[in-house]
Chain A
Amino acid sequence: MEALFYVFSFIAIFSALMVVTMRNPLTSALYLVLCFFALAGFYVILDMQFLAAMQILVYAGAIMVLVVLVIMLLNISRIKNIKSDLHQKIIGVLISLILFAEIVLYIINGAQKRPSGIFTHALIKRIGNTQVIGEFLFTGYILPFEIASILLFVAIIGAYLFAKKKF
């Protein structure tokens, strides 16, 4: 299990770095798909098969198809000529180093006394993880669930307004 974790994290970090550094947008989009697959692997390790399937269906399937479609519609040859700014790079590296240091600090300090949830491996195996998620969505988190639906509706209105040619 532990070896699998390291394999997935290596793939995830490597593909995430590739997404940022690749020049060709299509290549970086495909690396993003790989990154999503690696994240789905984490869910499987955590006994969350349902979430893993959703991750692959929704992110790697639906959303990435849209991204690739948009890249196809854009004129890539014009995007290629953008020069990268040196001071942007310096700021980017600095901020990611600070975030990295924060996460290291976080992991070192939290290792001794980490609160654990009530859903252990054994309990999830007994109930079934789809049921756990479903029950939470329709009891404890019913209001956020409903608000998310209205949020998506408003986003659709926005897309419609921006895409419409003439009023």
Chain B
Amino acid sequence: MHNMPSIYGINFLEKSMLSIIPETVIIIFAFMVLFLTFFEKLAKRKNSYYLSLIGICFSILYVLMLSGSNIYGFYGSVVFNSFDVFLFIAILFSGMFTVLMSKDYMENSEMPVPEYYSLILFGLSAMMFLVSSNNLIMVFLSIEFMSICAYILTGYIKGNTRSTEAALKYFILGAFASAFLLFGAVFIYASTGHLNLYAIHSFLQNISYADSISRSGGMGIKVYISVGLILFLVGLAFKMSLFPFHSWTPDAYDGAPTPITNFMATGIKIAAFAVFLRIYSLIYNFNIMNFNDILWLLAVFSMTFGNIAALLSSNIKRLLAYSSIAQAGYILVGIIGGGFYGYSGTLFYLFSYIFMTAGAFAVVVIFESSDIISLDIKRYSGIGYKYPFIAASMAFFLLSFAGIPLTSGFMGKFYVFSSAVKSGYNWLVVIALLNSAFAAFYYIKIIVKMYMPDEEPVSIIRGAIDDGLMITIIICLILTLLMGVYPQIFINFANNSADSLWRI
């Protein structure tokens, strides 16, 4: 039973509420945006757009105010430390870019506006809960919460068969993956007797200590728990869109509204990697089984498959979807590398990945019209002379994806790969380097199309470009350049947050 004085203590509720205040602010604003639907006058204007931006800014403010504190809230269900601060800011940036991109997109289509923004905000809060969750039930619930928001938003374009098909595929496969996750969580609970991640961690510590004393000791329990861990990994790998579990990615990315594609590519991926990083460092790390070998295979296949499929696709959204599978493989290299440098490198890569992806998708939103032809890469031929700034920034983001020096992509790859070399995974790094050289081909193919049109350039009619899109592109450009040229601030930030993974 629980310790009664600690429940009724004055500080208990206050502390618990503090630990979830950034999420709570987002949820309150989501409800406020939703209430706008009651009033026809308010719902028609841009109120929901501005209200959601204000909510995200408030949440960032609260995260910054709370940074440096280390709070366990709600009986250890959630934990707030500098790991969370880093990832909350990353996720909130991703949400902010999604909202900024959406204004232009929503004007050109007839969709209900306030529900859209409120679903984005609910999805954001779910991602933040996922990052801060410290309990298997919390992990499962917030993954479900996040996924349900994503399913609804994927099928948001009504009457569009591609969007509906994508939502249905995503929903069925996602439900399947959630079942695996839950199955794994049940096995872990049955073998350790705990749901709290820290409690499982200390349980495993005791087991491996007993194992080191008597050689025969906890062998049985290790097999017992590893079954659960494998099933849990399947559920998480689906959300990270790693190779054998990737099949939803191209369809869902292609069918969803483009701002939502950005939301899935940045927000969901980062939240899934963050929770995997936390669970990996606490549970998988005990060498219960050779999980690094499994991850090695997943990383190699994801990179190779993603790059080959991206090379063959001519639709820009599908290309970015396949390249995001490959990027997930590179991020996984950092986790395999492990240790302090591996984790901080992974966090740095995740942070830089937001800005490149959001920038690229903002450019896609600019040139997208309602027909499917507008997403063909051929449409981009010759835009380098018509829209010099936008084309130049697109080229910069693509170079960053390819990992050319002076961009954040290079720095991220450098840290991730060097940590893997430090841990002795030389072949993995060789394969990853070959892959990123191979990937540069199809990124540069688009740049060549933009600046050296081999045929008559397709004329793109486009009015004034929306402010939100320009703000997104400019912020992404500045941060991608800054992280490539002077990464030290961000590395310190990532080091701080990786450090708190060990401070249990």
Contact residues of A with B, CB < 8 Å?
A: 102-103, 105-106, 109-117, 135, 139-144, 147-148, 150-151, 154-155, 157-158, 161-162, 167
Q: Is the CB of B152 within 8 A of A154?
A: yes
Q: Which residues of B contact A143 (CB under 8 A)?
A: 16, 20, 73-74, 77-78, 138
Q: Does B25 contact A (CB under 8 A)?
A: no
Interface of chain B, helix or strand or loop or mixed? helix
Q: When A140-B2, A141-B137 are in contact, do A105 and B152 touch as well, CB less than 8 Å?
A: no
Q: Which residues of A contact B227 (CB under 8 A)?
A: 102-103, 105-106
Which of B73, B77, B110, B155 lies at the interface centre, i.e. has the most chain A CB atoms within 10 A of its CB? B77
Question: Which of A106, A158, A162, A167 is B148 in contact with, Cβ under 8 Å?
Answer: A158
Q: Does B312 contact A (CB under 8 A)?
A: no
Q: Does B64 contact A (CB under 8 A)?
A: no
Closest residue on chain A to residue B171 by CB atoms: A158
Q: Is the CB of B115 within 8 A of A109?
A: no
Q: Is the CB of B221 within 8 A of A167?
A: no
Question: Which of B27, B74, B111, B221 is A109 in contact with, Cβ under 8 Å?
Answer: B221
Q: Chain A's nearest CB lies how many Å from the CB of B149?
A: 6
Q: Give complex CA distance A141, B145 in Å.
A: 16
Q: Chain B's nearest CB lies how many Å from the CB of A44?
A: 20
Can you name 29 A-B pairs with beta carbons within 8 Å?
A: A102-B231, A106-B187, A106-B227, A109-B220, A109-B221, A109-B223, A109-B224, A110-B220, A110-B221, A112-B220, A113-B218, A113-B221, A114-B190, A114-B191, A115-B192, A115-B203, A139-B7, A140-B2, A140-B75, A141-B75, A141-B77, A143-B77, A144-B77, A144-B138, A150-B145, A151-B145, A157-B115, A158-B152, A167-B158
Q: Chain A's nearest CB lies how many Å from the CB of B5?
A: 13
Question: Per-position contact with A for B121-148: 1 when CB-CB < 8 Å, else 0?
Answer: 0100010010000010110011011001
Q: Give complex CA distance A139, B129 in Å.
A: 18
Q: Give complex CA distance A109, B141 in Å.
A: 29
Question: Size band of the B side of the interface?
Answer: 35 or more
Q: Is the CB of B137 within 8 A of A144?
A: yes
Q: Which residues of A contact B7 (CB under 8 A)?
A: 139
Q: When A112-B220, A113-B220, A154-B122 are in contact, do A161 and B141 touch as well, CB less than 8 Å?
A: no
Q: Is the CB of A154 within 8 A of B149?
A: yes
Q: When A109-B221, A109-B224, A150-B27 are in contact, do A161 and B142 touch as well, CB less than 8 Å?
A: no
Closest residue on chain A to residue B203 by CB atoms: A115
Closest residue on chain A to residue B34 by CB atoms: A157
Q: Is the CB of B151 within 8 A of A158?
A: yes
Q: Is the CB of B141 within 8 A of A148?
A: yes
Q: Is the CB of A142 within 8 A of B74?
A: yes
Q: Which residues of A contact B137 (CB under 8 A)?
A: 141, 144
Q: Is the CB of B148 within 8 A of A154?
A: yes
